[in-house]
Chains A and B, each alone.
Chain A
């Protein structure tokens, strides 16, 4: 299966803990996007990365959130000191340059 992979699929964290979400793009894709989806809402752009570069982080909250896409390995979205409002589904998508974006299965984060 050469689709976009995300793990974990479900993540439960207590308030104040850290959450790490991983995304492996489709084979041949070098562009990764992270989106957040609140219940019964659309997807909101967070960040766009290429290997070792953050290209556009205009949708990322200024504090506690960070993203990386290292030379080797998956892209990681990191949320420090999680709060209840961070509970959402986080989707990663990948594409070729300016191409169609294909989504992974998502990570459903629950903060208790």
Chain B
């Protein structure tokens, strides 16, 4: 991976509303896109991921969409709850020949009760 841009850097939503975080990448060889949630002082936790042969993946209130043509992918959280408040990082992995995850700068999500 070369570069990952993540927007917005901060996001505040009312409890129950949806939150959307977007990332763009530049390496056309990228084939794996995980999302991590990091609470203050804790480890990044893998919450959902998507591979390049799939356009969308859903797990309960969390979904990820991938547009390979436009080189962007998004995290969607529905029915947000206060415990969703954390910093969310997108990442991309280019696979063969490159073993590192390249992370976005993070989005601080605040869910207001």
Interface residue? A33 (CB, 8 A): yes
Measured between alpha carbons, how far is A33 from B46 in the docked complex, in Å?
A: 15
Is B49 touching A43 in the complex (CB atoms < 8 A)? no
Contact A42 B104 (CB under 8 A): yes
Residues from chain B with a CB closer than 8 A to the CB of A43 are 44, 89, 101, 103
Query: A-side binding surface: helix, strand, loop or mixed?
Result: strand
Query: Per-position contact with B for A17-61: 1 when CB-CB < 8 Å, else 0?
Result: 000000000000001010100001111110010000001101100
A contacts with B, residue count (CB < 8 A): 24
B103 touches A104 (CB 8 A): no
Question: Would you call A103 and B105 a contact (CB within 8 A)?
Answer: no
Say whether A65 faces chain B, with CB atoms less than 8 Å apart: no
Q: Which residue of B lies closest to A45 (CB)?
A: B100
- A45 to B104 Cα, complex, angstroms: 12
Q: Check A42–B45 contact: CB distance below 8 A.
A: no
Name the residue in A40, A42, A45 with the highest tally of chain B Cβ atoms < 10 Å from its Cβ: A42
Shortest Cβ gap from B95 to chain A (Å): 6
A42 and B46 contact, CB distance less than 8 A = no
User: Which of chain A's residues 88-112 have a Cβ closer than 8 Å to chain B?
Assistant: 91, 93, 98, 100-106
Type the 1/0 row for B87-107, where 1 means its CB is closer than 8 Å to any CB of A. Answer: 001000001001111111110
B103 nearest in chain A by CB position:
A42
Interface-centre pick from B89, B100, B106 (highest chain A CB count, 10 A): B100
In the complex, A98→B49 CA distance in Å? 13
B103 touches A48 (CB 8 A): no
Contact A101 B95 (CB under 8 A): no
Partner among A41, A45, A106 whose Cβ is within 8 Å of the Cβ of B101: A45
Contacts of B34 in A (CB 8 A): 100-101
Interface residues of A (CB under 8 A from B): 31, 33, 35, 40-45, 48, 55-56, 58-59, 91, 93, 98, 100-106
